[in-house]
Structure 1
């Protein structure tokens, strides 16, 4: 009833070696490094507005994880200034959201170190926000 397919499909990249392929793990590494780098940027902004030892430690640990995921390349960082911008509550909310996204990816790739770090950061930002702020999302 149907004639069998005799030629290769033109819609697949089968047999081409010039097309870059990444494994699922490599894609997750890239995604996790991006989330952690974004979290690091918000952490640096929070450090400029409300310096604390906790944020300093978090920034160092986040930078280490980003460098690890990027094959030893440290993340690009710009010195944050306490200029006008989002309120501290908005920054903590953004950091909490970014940490949550990073936690999902870290759990997906079974990266225990990154998962622990992001869970700790979620807890720290949730404590700063309080239950009323978190529920207002």
Structure 2
């Protein structure tokens, strides 16, 4: 197997994506499956390809990724974050472009914990005066 040119780890909610960029023709493989097979929804595919298209390097690298945890949206955004981090290693110029587009920032939003006495994180039981 070819040695990775660049590596990056992307995270979102509980999803973690370990990404390797290899010299190639733009093929994206996720957990041993094609991108379109792993993420059937076009919006997820667009999100995953966005860092490559931003830098115009869509056909220069093959992406091999292993993703664990989370749901499909979290996994797609974790993969985007991982690809962006791997591309940021390429040069300072590409890092600046990715940073300006907000792709290097880890989205720290997560599910708020449930509090005791409440039904969910903020939903309260019905109040009865009498």
- The interval holding the TM-score normalised by the smaller chain is 0.3 to 0.5
Could you say which structure has the greater relative contact order, defined with CA pairs below 8 angstroms and 6 or more residues apart? 2
Based on CA coordinates, which of the two structures has the bigger radius of gyration?
Answer: 1
Identify the structure with the greater helix proportion. Answer: 1
